[in-house]
Structure 1
Amino acid sequence: MTDRLPHEKGFHISWDQIHRDARALAWRLDGKGPDAGGWRAVVAITRGGMAPAMIVARELDIRTVDTISVKSYHSGGGAADQRREAEVLKHPDAEIMGDGTGILIVDDLVDTGKTLELVREMYPKAHFAAVYAKPAGKPMVDSFITEVSQDTWIFFPWDMALQYVQPFRGTD
C-alpha cells in the first residue's frame, strides 16, 4: 500500500456536479421556510458558498441575496494551509438578517463546523445548509446533500485547472 498525502484522498467536483448537487439542496429546502414555506433571503458564506447559493436562490426564486465573508484558513498550499480562529470580514445587511428568521445561509462545505458555529451565534434562527458535509461539522448544519469522510479533501471546480497528472502506479 502506498502512503498518500492528505490531499491525495480527493473528491473532485465538476461544475456539472456542483450544479446538480446545489439543485438537489434547493429541492430539499423547497417549502421548508417559515414564511408559508418560503425564505426571505439567501446568504452565501464567501467564497465557497457563492455558487451554490446562487443556484439555490435561482431554483427557489429568492431575489434577496447577500454574503457574509468568513476567513478561517491561511492558504499557502501544502503544510502552510492551517486553520485559524474564524473571523467575519464582511457582514450581511443587518436589516435583512435580524435574528436569522427566514434566512437561508448556504455554504459549499461544512468541514469542522467552526465557520458555521460563528455565523450561527450571530443568526441563531437562520437555516444553515451546505452541499457537502464532513462528520465533525454535521451538527452545525441543518440540511446537506452529500457526506464525505473527515479525511477527504474536496476539490471544487473553482479551485482547479486542467493539467496532466501522473498515473497513480508509475509511468511504465
Structure 2
Amino acid sequence: MSDRLPHEKGFHVSWDQLHRDARALAWRLDGQGPEDTGWRAIVAITRGGMAPAMIVARELDIRVIDTISVKSYNKQDRSEAKVIKSPDAELMGDGEGILIIDDLVDSGKTLELVRTLYPKAHFGTVYAKPKGRPMVDTFITEVSQDTWIFFPWDMALQYVEPYRGQD
C-alpha cells in the first residue's frame, strides 16, 4: 500500500516526447488499414487525442479527421463515460476503416464506450495502462496503473530558485 498522491508517481511527457511517440504510433499503424483503401479517416477522442491524431494524420497522409468527445473525468476524479459530441454518422458507419486515436487508455471505460458505437474501428493510443490495454489495438508505451501521466498541455513552465541561494 502506498501513501503517495497521484502526482507523486508521475510520468512527465514533454511536447518533444509526445511528438516522437505519436510518430512511432503512426509508423506502427502504417499499412494496418483495410488493404484496398487504407484508413478512411481518423477520429480523435477529445481532448487528449487531438494532438496525437494530428501527428498521426500528417505522418500517414490522412486528410479526413473528425472528433468524438467523451467525458469520463471531472478534474482527476473518474465518472461514468458519456458521449457529448459524436463524429459524422455517415462517415463512421460501424467504424470499418476508421482509426480512433487517444493519448492514453487508463481504465478502458472511454474506449469501451466508443468501441460499442464503432466495433470495427481500429483503436490506437500513445500510452496504455494495464486495465485499459485490452480495449486498445495498437499503442506505444505501457505505464503502470498507479502512474499519473502529466501531458504537456496540462503543464506550465515557471521560474525555480537556484539551488544555492539567490543572484
TM over 0.5: yes
Identity over aligned residues, as a percent? 80
Partner of residue 152, structure 2: 157
Partner of residue 65, structure 1: 65
Q: What CA distance in whole angstroms lies between the structure 2 residues aligned with 1:5 and 1:165?
A: 22
Residue 68 of structure 1 aligns to a residue whose secondary structure is strand
CA deviation vs aligned residue, 1:28-82 (integer Å, no higher than 9, x gap): 000110143710000000000000000000000000000000000111xxxxx31
Runs ≥4 in structure 1, deviation > 2 angstroms?
Answer: 163-166
Partner of residue 103, structure 2: 108
Alignment CA distance shift 1:93-1:35 (3 Å): farther
Query: Structure 1 residue 4: deviation in Å?
Result: 2.8
Query: Structure 1 residue 5: deviation in Å?
Result: 1.6
In structure 2, give the amino acid aligned to 1:46.
Answer: T
Partner of residue 78, structure 1: none
Which of 137, 149, 154 is the aligned partner of 1:142?
137
Structure 1 residue ranges without an equivalent (≥5): 76-80
Residue 132 of structure 1 aligns to a residue whose secondary structure is strand
Alignment CA distance shift 1:164-1:8 (3 Å): farther
Structure 2 residue ranges without an equivalent (≥5): none
- Please give the TM-score of this superposition, normalised by the length of structure 2: 0.92
How many residue pairs align between the two structures?
164
Query: Structure 1 residue 132: deviation in Å?
Result: 0.1
Q: What CA RMSD, in Å, does the superposition of the two structures yield over aligned residues?
A: 2.1
Partner of residue 12, structure 2: 12
